Amino acid sequence: MTTVGFIGLGIMGGPMAANLVKAGFDVIGYNRGPEPTRRLVEQGGRGADSLAEAVRDADVVVTMVPDSPDVESVVLGEDGVFANAKPGLLFVDASTIRPDVSARIAREGGARGVRVVDAPVSGGQQGAVEATLSIMVGGEAEDFEAARPVLEAVGRTVVHVGPAGSGQTVKAANQLIVAGTIELVAEAIVFLEAYGVDTGAAVRVLAGGLAGNAIFERKAAGMLAREFTPGFRLALHHKDLGIVQAAAREAGVVIPLGAAVSQLVAAMVARGDGGLDHSGLLKLVEQLSGRT
Protein backbone atom coordinates (compact mmCIF):
# COMPACT_ATOMS: atom_id res chain seq x y z
CA MET A 1 0.00 0.00 0.00
CA THR A 2 1.32 3.46 -0.90
CA THR A 3 1.71 5.76 2.09
CA VAL A 4 0.96 9.42 1.33
CA GLY A 5 2.00 12.19 3.72
CA PHE A 6 -0.38 15.11 3.22
CA ILE A 7 0.58 18.55 4.54
CA GLY A 8 -1.94 21.42 4.64
CA LEU A 9 -5.48 20.20 5.26
CA GLY A 10 -7.34 23.44 4.46
CA ILE A 11 -10.26 24.15 2.13
CA MET A 12 -8.59 22.17 -0.68
CA GLY A 13 -6.15 19.89 1.12
CA GLY A 14 -8.76 18.50 3.56
CA PRO A 15 -11.06 17.01 0.91
CA MET A 16 -8.14 15.98 -1.33
CA ALA A 17 -6.62 13.97 1.53
CA ALA A 18 -10.05 12.44 2.28
CA ASN A 19 -10.37 11.37 -1.37
CA LEU A 20 -6.95 9.70 -1.22
CA VAL A 21 -8.20 7.71 1.79
CA LYS A 22 -11.33 6.74 -0.19
CA ALA A 23 -9.14 5.61 -3.09
CA GLY A 24 -7.31 3.21 -0.77
CA PHE A 25 -4.10 5.10 0.03
CA ASP A 26 -2.63 5.05 3.53
CA VAL A 27 -2.78 8.79 4.28
CA ILE A 28 -0.90 10.52 7.13
CA GLY A 29 -2.11 14.10 7.39
CA TYR A 30 -0.43 17.03 9.09
CA ASN A 31 -1.78 20.51 9.68
CA ARG A 32 -0.43 23.15 12.08
CA GLY A 33 -3.87 23.80 13.60
CA PRO A 34 -5.05 20.37 14.92
CA GLU A 35 -8.76 20.47 13.96
CA PRO A 36 -8.34 19.54 10.25
CA THR A 37 -6.10 16.59 11.20
CA ARG A 38 -8.80 15.34 13.58
CA ARG A 39 -11.35 15.50 10.72
CA LEU A 40 -9.06 13.47 8.46
CA VAL A 41 -8.70 10.80 11.16
CA GLU A 42 -12.52 10.62 11.39
CA GLN A 43 -12.53 10.04 7.63
CA GLY A 44 -10.18 7.06 7.90
CA GLY A 45 -6.77 8.72 7.59
CA ARG A 46 -3.97 8.84 10.13
CA GLY A 47 -2.91 12.00 11.93
CA ALA A 48 0.66 13.18 12.49
CA ASP A 49 1.68 15.49 15.35
CA SER A 50 4.57 16.92 13.38
CA LEU A 51 5.56 17.51 9.79
CA ALA A 52 8.47 15.07 10.23
CA GLU A 53 6.08 12.33 11.36
CA ALA A 54 3.94 12.80 8.23
CA VAL A 55 6.99 12.58 5.95
CA ARG A 56 9.28 9.97 7.52
CA ASP A 57 7.51 6.81 6.29
CA ALA A 58 5.80 8.29 3.23
CA ASP A 59 6.34 7.04 -0.33
CA VAL A 60 4.66 10.19 -1.63
CA VAL A 61 4.31 13.58 0.07
CA VAL A 62 1.70 16.10 -1.09
CA THR A 63 1.71 19.73 0.07
CA MET A 64 -1.30 22.06 -0.22
CA VAL A 65 -0.34 25.32 1.51
CA PRO A 66 -1.02 28.94 0.49
CA ASP A 67 2.05 30.61 -1.02
CA SER A 68 5.68 30.30 -2.19
CA PRO A 69 7.26 31.12 1.23
CA ASP A 70 4.99 28.53 2.88
CA VAL A 71 6.10 25.83 0.44
CA GLU A 72 9.73 26.87 0.82
CA SER A 73 9.59 26.63 4.63
CA VAL A 74 7.62 23.34 4.64
CA VAL A 75 9.87 21.69 2.04
CA LEU A 76 13.32 23.21 2.52
CA GLY A 77 13.09 24.04 6.26
CA GLU A 78 15.44 22.49 8.81
CA ASP A 79 12.90 19.82 9.80
CA GLY A 80 10.98 19.97 6.54
CA VAL A 81 10.01 17.52 3.81
CA PHE A 82 13.44 17.11 2.21
CA ALA A 83 15.20 16.80 5.57
CA ASN A 84 12.91 13.89 6.53
CA ALA A 85 12.45 12.24 3.12
CA LYS A 86 13.19 8.58 2.69
CA PRO A 87 15.31 7.80 -0.39
CA GLY A 88 13.37 7.98 -3.66
CA LEU A 89 10.49 9.99 -2.17
CA LEU A 90 8.06 11.39 -4.73
CA PHE A 91 7.15 14.96 -3.75
CA VAL A 92 4.01 16.54 -5.23
CA ASP A 93 3.36 20.22 -4.54
CA ALA A 94 -0.29 20.96 -5.31
CA SER A 95 -0.12 24.55 -3.98
CA THR A 96 -0.25 27.47 -6.40
CA ILE A 97 3.14 29.20 -6.21
CA ARG A 98 5.71 30.99 -8.39
CA PRO A 99 6.98 28.86 -11.31
CA ASP A 100 10.61 29.79 -10.57
CA VAL A 101 10.23 28.61 -6.96
CA SER A 102 8.80 25.28 -8.15
CA ALA A 103 11.70 24.86 -10.58
CA ARG A 104 14.23 25.59 -7.80
CA ILE A 105 12.56 23.13 -5.41
CA ALA A 106 12.72 20.47 -8.15
CA ARG A 107 16.45 21.12 -8.60
CA GLU A 108 17.10 20.94 -4.84
CA GLY A 109 14.99 17.77 -4.63
CA GLY A 110 16.97 16.21 -7.47
CA ALA A 111 20.23 16.94 -5.64
CA ARG A 112 18.87 15.01 -2.61
CA GLY A 113 17.40 12.06 -4.52
CA VAL A 114 13.79 13.30 -4.20
CA ARG A 115 11.60 13.22 -7.32
CA VAL A 116 9.56 16.42 -7.57
CA VAL A 117 6.49 17.45 -9.57
CA ASP A 118 4.52 20.69 -9.37
CA ALA A 119 0.82 19.87 -9.65
CA PRO A 120 -1.36 22.92 -9.04
CA VAL A 121 -5.07 22.32 -9.33
CA SER A 122 -8.16 24.07 -10.63
CA GLY A 123 -11.80 23.34 -9.87
CA GLY A 124 -12.22 24.96 -6.48
CA GLN A 125 -13.54 23.50 -3.27
CA GLN A 126 -16.30 21.67 -5.15
CA GLY A 127 -13.74 20.05 -7.44
CA ALA A 128 -11.66 19.04 -4.42
CA VAL A 129 -14.68 17.50 -2.67
CA GLU A 130 -15.89 15.69 -5.80
CA ALA A 131 -12.37 14.60 -6.90
CA THR A 132 -12.90 16.29 -10.26
CA LEU A 133 -9.97 18.72 -10.18
CA SER A 134 -8.08 19.73 -13.28
CA ILE A 135 -4.39 19.20 -12.51
CA MET A 136 -1.55 20.72 -14.52
CA VAL A 137 1.69 18.92 -13.88
CA GLY A 138 5.29 20.05 -14.37
CA GLY A 139 8.29 17.73 -14.03
CA GLU A 140 10.00 14.73 -15.60
CA ALA A 141 7.69 12.44 -17.62
CA GLU A 142 8.52 9.38 -15.49
CA ASP A 143 7.84 11.28 -12.25
CA PHE A 144 4.51 12.40 -13.68
CA GLU A 145 3.67 8.75 -14.41
CA ALA A 146 4.66 7.81 -10.85
CA ALA A 147 2.40 10.57 -9.46
CA ARG A 148 -0.51 9.75 -11.75
CA PRO A 149 -2.37 7.28 -9.40
CA VAL A 150 -2.33 9.87 -6.58
CA LEU A 151 -3.39 12.70 -8.88
CA GLU A 152 -6.15 10.65 -10.53
CA ALA A 153 -7.59 9.93 -7.08
CA VAL A 154 -8.22 13.65 -6.57
CA GLY A 155 -8.71 14.91 -10.13
CA ARG A 156 -10.44 14.12 -13.41
CA THR A 157 -8.27 16.00 -15.92
CA VAL A 158 -4.63 15.28 -15.17
CA VAL A 159 -2.18 16.55 -17.80
CA HIS A 160 1.62 16.68 -17.98
CA VAL A 161 2.39 20.15 -19.39
CA GLY A 162 6.21 20.24 -19.40
CA PRO A 163 9.32 20.43 -17.20
CA ALA A 164 9.46 21.57 -13.55
CA GLY A 165 7.57 24.83 -13.01
CA SER A 166 5.38 24.43 -16.11
CA GLY A 167 2.39 23.33 -14.06
CA GLN A 168 2.62 26.64 -12.21
CA THR A 169 2.90 28.61 -15.45
CA VAL A 170 -0.29 26.99 -16.75
CA LYS A 171 -1.99 27.60 -13.39
CA ALA A 172 -1.01 31.30 -13.60
CA ALA A 173 -2.80 31.47 -16.97
CA ASN A 174 -5.79 29.74 -15.37
CA GLN A 175 -5.95 32.36 -12.62
CA LEU A 176 -5.77 35.18 -15.17
CA ILE A 177 -8.77 33.75 -17.02
CA VAL A 178 -10.78 33.04 -13.85
CA ALA A 179 -10.27 36.54 -12.40
CA GLY A 180 -11.16 38.22 -15.69
CA THR A 181 -14.25 36.06 -16.11
CA ILE A 182 -15.48 36.73 -12.56
CA GLU A 183 -15.05 40.47 -13.10
CA LEU A 184 -17.03 40.39 -16.38
CA VAL A 185 -19.79 38.23 -14.87
CA ALA A 186 -19.97 40.66 -11.92
CA GLU A 187 -20.21 43.64 -14.30
CA ALA A 188 -22.93 41.87 -16.32
CA ILE A 189 -24.95 41.09 -13.18
CA VAL A 190 -24.80 44.69 -11.90
CA PHE A 191 -25.69 45.95 -15.39
CA LEU A 192 -28.68 43.57 -15.67
CA GLU A 193 -29.91 44.47 -12.18
CA ALA A 194 -29.81 48.16 -13.10
CA TYR A 195 -32.38 47.36 -15.81
CA GLY A 196 -34.54 45.28 -13.46
CA VAL A 197 -33.95 42.16 -15.55
CA ASP A 198 -34.73 38.75 -13.98
CA THR A 199 -31.07 37.93 -13.42
CA GLY A 200 -31.69 34.23 -12.72
CA ALA A 201 -33.35 33.89 -16.13
CA ALA A 202 -30.66 36.00 -17.75
CA VAL A 203 -27.87 33.83 -16.34
CA ARG A 204 -29.66 30.66 -17.57
CA VAL A 205 -29.86 31.88 -21.15
CA LEU A 206 -26.41 33.47 -21.18
CA ALA A 207 -24.89 30.24 -19.86
CA GLY A 208 -26.20 28.39 -22.93
CA GLY A 209 -24.59 30.70 -25.50
CA LEU A 210 -21.12 31.91 -26.39
CA ALA A 211 -20.94 33.76 -23.05
CA GLY A 212 -21.31 30.45 -21.17
CA ASN A 213 -18.53 29.77 -18.66
CA ALA A 214 -17.78 27.89 -15.45
CA ILE A 215 -18.29 31.02 -13.32
CA PHE A 216 -21.95 31.05 -14.35
CA GLU A 217 -22.24 27.39 -13.35
CA ARG A 218 -20.33 27.57 -10.07
CA LYS A 219 -20.52 31.13 -8.79
CA ALA A 220 -23.46 33.04 -10.28
CA ALA A 221 -26.06 31.76 -7.79
CA GLY A 222 -23.88 32.92 -4.88
CA MET A 223 -23.24 36.25 -6.58
CA LEU A 224 -26.98 36.85 -7.10
CA ALA A 225 -27.61 35.98 -3.42
CA ARG A 226 -24.60 38.09 -2.29
CA GLU A 227 -23.19 34.99 -0.58
CA PHE A 228 -19.40 35.26 -0.57
CA THR A 229 -18.22 32.58 1.86
CA PRO A 230 -14.99 31.08 0.43
CA GLY A 231 -14.38 28.88 -1.69
CA PHE A 232 -11.34 30.66 -2.96
CA ARG A 233 -10.27 33.66 -0.94
CA LEU A 234 -9.59 36.96 -2.69
CA ALA A 235 -6.29 37.12 -0.78
CA LEU A 236 -5.15 33.94 -2.56
CA HIS A 237 -6.29 35.25 -5.94
CA HIS A 238 -4.35 38.46 -5.23
CA LYS A 239 -1.26 36.28 -4.70
CA ASP A 240 -1.91 34.48 -8.02
CA LEU A 241 -2.38 37.69 -9.99
CA GLY A 242 0.96 38.86 -8.60
CA ILE A 243 2.49 35.63 -9.93
CA VAL A 244 1.00 36.03 -13.41
CA GLN A 245 1.92 39.72 -13.64
CA ALA A 246 5.54 39.05 -12.67
CA ALA A 247 5.80 36.06 -15.02
CA ALA A 248 4.26 38.01 -17.93
CA ARG A 249 6.67 40.89 -17.38
CA GLU A 250 9.58 38.45 -17.26
CA ALA A 251 8.46 37.04 -20.63
CA GLY A 252 7.92 40.51 -22.14
CA VAL A 253 4.21 39.84 -22.58
CA VAL A 254 1.53 42.43 -21.76
CA ILE A 255 -1.71 41.51 -20.02
CA PRO A 256 -3.68 44.79 -19.92
CA LEU A 257 -7.00 43.31 -18.81
CA GLY A 258 -5.17 41.12 -16.33
CA ALA A 259 -3.49 44.23 -14.91
CA ALA A 260 -6.86 45.97 -14.54
CA VAL A 261 -8.51 43.08 -12.76
CA SER A 262 -5.39 42.67 -10.58
CA GLN A 263 -5.91 46.23 -9.34
CA LEU A 264 -9.57 45.54 -8.54
CA VAL A 265 -8.66 42.41 -6.59
CA ALA A 266 -5.87 44.36 -4.83
CA ALA A 267 -8.44 46.99 -3.81
CA MET A 268 -10.68 44.33 -2.28
CA VAL A 269 -7.75 42.95 -0.27
CA ALA A 270 -6.53 46.44 0.76
CA ARG A 271 -9.90 47.37 2.19
CA GLY A 272 -10.10 44.18 4.26
CA ASP A 273 -12.18 41.92 2.03
CA GLY A 274 -9.40 39.41 1.30
CA GLY A 275 -11.25 36.72 3.26
CA LEU A 276 -14.25 36.78 0.93
CA ASP A 277 -14.67 34.38 -1.97
CA HIS A 278 -13.27 35.80 -5.23
CA SER A 279 -16.83 36.16 -6.54
CA GLY A 280 -17.00 38.98 -3.93
CA LEU A 281 -15.53 41.21 -6.67
CA LEU A 282 -19.21 41.88 -7.37
CA LYS A 283 -19.32 44.06 -4.24
CA LEU A 284 -16.69 46.37 -5.69
CA VAL A 285 -18.47 46.65 -9.05
CA GLU A 286 -21.67 47.56 -7.21
CA GLN A 287 -19.91 50.20 -5.16
CA LEU A 288 -18.09 51.69 -8.16
CA SER A 289 -21.51 51.94 -9.80
CA GLY A 290 -22.99 53.68 -6.74
CA ARG A 291 -25.49 50.89 -6.31
CA THR A 292 -25.10 49.94 -2.63
Which spans of this chain sit near ligand NAP (rule: CB under 6 A)?
Answer: 8-13, 31-33, 36, 64-66, 70, 73-74, 95-96, 121-122, 124-125, 231-232, 236
> What is the nearest approach in angstroms of ligand NAP to the Cβ of residue 182?
12
171 is catalytic: yes
Contacts 24+ apart (CB under 8 A), 101-107: 101/68, 101/71, 101/72, 101/168, 102/138, 102/164, 102/165, 102/167, 102/168, 103/163, 103/164, 103/165, 105/71, 105/72, 105/75, 105/76, 105/164, 106/138, 106/139, 106/164, 106/165, 107/164
Q: Dihedral of CA 265/266/268/273: which sign? A: positive
Q: Considering the complex, state which of residue 202 and residue 243 has its C-beta at the smaller distance from ligand NAP.
A: 243
What is the number of the residue whose Cβ is closest to ligand NAP? 10
Q: Considering the complex, state which of residue 90 and residue 243 has its C-beta at the smaller distance from ligand NAP.
A: 243
Q: Among 171, 219, 239, 283, which one carries the catalytic annotation?
A: 171
Q: Are 238 and 269 in contact (CB under 8 A)?
A: yes
- In sequence order, what are the beta bridge partners of 137? 160
> What is the nearest approach in angstroms of ligand NAP to the Cβ of residue 10?
2
4 phi, psi to nearest 5 deg: -115, 120
Relative to beta strand 90-93, strand 115-118 is parallel
> What is the nearest approach in angstroms of ligand NAP to the Cβ of residue 192?
26
Q: Considering the complex, state which of residue 89 and residue 190 has its C-beta at the smaller distance from ligand NAP.
A: 89
> What is the nearest approach in angstroms of ligand NAP to the Cβ of residue 9?
5
Q: Considering the complex, state which of residue 36 and residue 109 has its C-beta at the smaller distance from ligand NAP.
A: 36
Q: Which residues are catalytic?
A: 171
